[in-house]
Amino acid sequence: MNYRIALLRGDGIGPEIVDSACQVLDKVGQKYGHTFSYTPYLMGGCAIDATGEPLPQETVDGCLASDSVLLGAVGGPKWDTLPGHLRPEKGLLGIRAALGLYTNIRPARLYPSLAAESPLRADISAKGVDLVMFRELIGGIYFGERGRTDDGKTAYDTEKYSAFEIERIAHAAFRSARLRRKKVTSIDKANVLESSRLWRETVHKVAQDYPDVVCEDMLVDNAAMQLVKNPAQFDVIVTSNIFGDILSDEASQVTGSIGLLPSASIGDSTRGLFEPIHGSAPDIAGTGKANPIATILSAAMMLRYSFSLEEEARCIEQAVDGVLEAGYRTGDILGASKAIPLNCTEMTEKILERI
């Protein structure tokens, strides 16, 4: 079977890491008898340079015509002074919304072979970290009404959620928990925010459909603390767009490197958007220092969530595990180890060999 993948390579290290992930997909395709065809489209800073806008219509149409979308990263200092509606990030938010991708799945797992890289105290990291965050992706303050008063001296952004928006992400989280350790932690700020009170009520209603899954609430400030104090307590987390943005960076760091963590954004169809959770790292772009693992693992998530190719997804994940266990490191996960850091191409080669 042939799968048509739209590539949004983006800016900074984006093109290098997407290239690595495509090599890995091709290798898996050879092994299992699938082909992947790739069509690149512009999004982010590169699209601004070429067309004047961060998300050209051609890109939206191309993604809608594809079976799934693989994204590198967007943004960089070059575009940081542009007005909000023309920034590279606007392209990313626009494509998430245009494809209806309301569920953002961000797993954070502490690799035993990398435990020394975690900033957690050894007695805390020894208990392990294996959680997955379900972040609502196309609602809340990111998409609420915003503006400034006429004198420009007051600005506002609006956090707003409907029960419908909360229900669909909650169902996604509970379904996933059923396949894992059967616990959902819903994170909100219900002691202050009305939108959080609706969030909590709605999650509780959804929870009634999943009596086999434990559901607990946690206030976001406490959650920020619990993630470093006792991350082993978390299985599935479900939360709003902005809280999920912040907490997923925190969760990623407890695992030792943001360079390892993939993400999937999905909606009601099988077409999704798969991207590393890290940014475009303009400071190391073109130097070969980028860690391709997060993007390679994002490609594995694409196989799983868009194409239902579970065995193929696991094959990639096991290759990555094997390479890390064998002690191969890129510079960002070198830590105290005495390994010679591999560059992006060499790390990709090591993973290809194991597939």
Kindly list the residues in this chain that would bind ligand IPM in the complex (CB under 6 A). Answer: 89, 92-93, 245
B/e letters for 302-338, b = 16+ CB within 10 Å, e = fewer, are bbbbbbebeebbebbbebbbbbbeeebbbbbbeeeee
249 is catalytic: yes
Residues 58 and 258: their CA atoms lie apart, in Å, by: 31
245 is catalytic: yes
142 is catalytic: yes
Nearer to Mg ion, 73 or 355 (CB): 73
Q: Which one of the listed residues 189, 210, 235, 289 is annotated catalytic?
A: 189
**Rule CB under 5 A: is residue 275 a binding residue for Mg ion?**
no
3-state secondary structure of 74: coil
189 is catalytic: yes
- Residue number of the CB closest to ligand IPM reads 89
19, 67, 165, 245: which one contacts Mg ion (CB under 5 A)? 245
Residue 92's binding partner among Mg ion, ligand IPM, none (Cβ under 5 to 8 angstroms by kind) is ligand IPM
Residues 103 and 272: their CA atoms lie apart, in Å, by: 10
Q: Cα separations (Å) of 263 from 82, 223, 280?
A: 27, 20, 15
State the nearest-atom distance from the C-beta of 245 to ligand IPM, in Å: 4
Nearer to ligand IPM, 218 or 294 (CB): 294
State the nearest-atom distance from the C-beta of 278 to Mg ion, in Å: 9
Q: Which one of the listed residues 130, 217, 249, 321 is annotated catalytic?
A: 249
State the nearest-atom distance from the C-beta of 166 to ligand IPM, in Å: 18
User: Interface with Mg ion by CB under 5 A: which range of 1-9, 92-100, 242-250, 331-339?
Assistant: 242-250
State the nearest-atom distance from the C-beta of 273 to Mg ion, in Å: 14
State the nearest-atom distance from the C-beta of 201 to ligand IPM, in Å: 26
Q: Cα separations (Å) of 125 from 110, 229, 243, 256, 297?
A: 8, 10, 23, 10, 22
Q: Which residues form the catalytic set?
A: 142, 189, 221, 245, 249
Binding positions for Mg ion, rule: CB under 5 A: 245
